[in-house]
Amino acid sequence: MRWLLPLFLGCSLVLSAHAADHALFGEEDTWNLYTRFDVKFSDFGGDSGFIGGIQVGGILNEKLSVGLGGYALLDEVDVAPNGYNNPEAFDIAYGGLALDYTFYSDKLVHASLGGLIGGGQIRLDRTSDGKDKKMELFVVEPQINLLVNITQRSEFGIGIGYRHADPRNSDIEGLEKGDLSGVVGTLFLRLTQF
């Protein structure tokens, strides 16, 4: 009976060493932290405006970025002629999971494919009698980027994508589903390894 304990201990050491050879991430893999500052320009129904935002997360092997992003409207937009307006900043905000895959990150000029999936909210202020309204949004925003390495720890990028913003309760007269979706142009600065 005493020989069972050394046998179990020996088996557990062998199995754990064998399992380490088949890990999701190996010892050669490297993670860096990143912060990305974005300025976007996009249409909102019949108007257009600037969106500011930030992403924070990690980069695996200088290729796969996984993080969280948050964005908010920086100026006034009139989303639809429906008796509501949007006169103050930050009335449209969204955020979620940000993913990006970079090709040839060691080159001076390189490219990436990425996007954001998450949710948000738009607040519409009533221009006449009545109550203000808030709408929850489901947002998907795929994007393709062209990047330039400024230093080993920073890069500048320009991107183009499409924001699909689907209101969960579109009961506001004159505001169609497609009014909050549109082409997005982005300028950004990404800094790594703080």
In the predicted model, is pLDDT for residue 186 greater than 90? yes
Average pLDDT, the chain: 81
- CATH T-level topology, domain 28-192: Porin (2.40.160)
Residue owning tokens 């050669």: 28
Q: Which two tokens stand for residue 109?
A: 């000029």
In the predicted model, is pLDDT for residue 114 greater than 70? yes
- How much is the pLDDT for 10? 62
- 41-91 pLDDT tens trace: 998 767 788 999 999 999 988 899 999 999 998 887 766 555 566 555 457
- How much is the pLDDT for 159? 97
Rounded to two decimals, the pTM is 0.77
Q: Distances in Å between the alpha carbon of 143 and those of 87, 149, 163?
A: 28, 19, 9
> What is the percent of the chain with per-residue pLDDT over 70, rounded to a whole number?
69
Please, are residues 188 and 38 in contact by the beta-carbon 8 Å criterion?
Answer: yes
Direct distance between the N- and C-terminal alpha carbons of the chain, in angstroms, rounded to an integer: 55
Pairwise CA distance, residues 173 & 70, whole Å? 28
Please, are residues 160 and 144 in contact by the beta-carbon 8 Å criterion?
Answer: yes
Instruction: Catalogue the E-assigned strands of 15-130.
Output: 31-44, 47-60, 64-73, 84-85, 92-103, 109-126
- pLDDT higher at 173 or 16: 173
- 144-169 pLDDT tens trace: 999 999 998 899 999 999 999 887 76
Nearest CA to 156 out of 184, 192, 188 is that of: 188
Residue owning tokens 């930030």: 54
Pairwise CA distance, residues 185 & 109, whole Å? 19
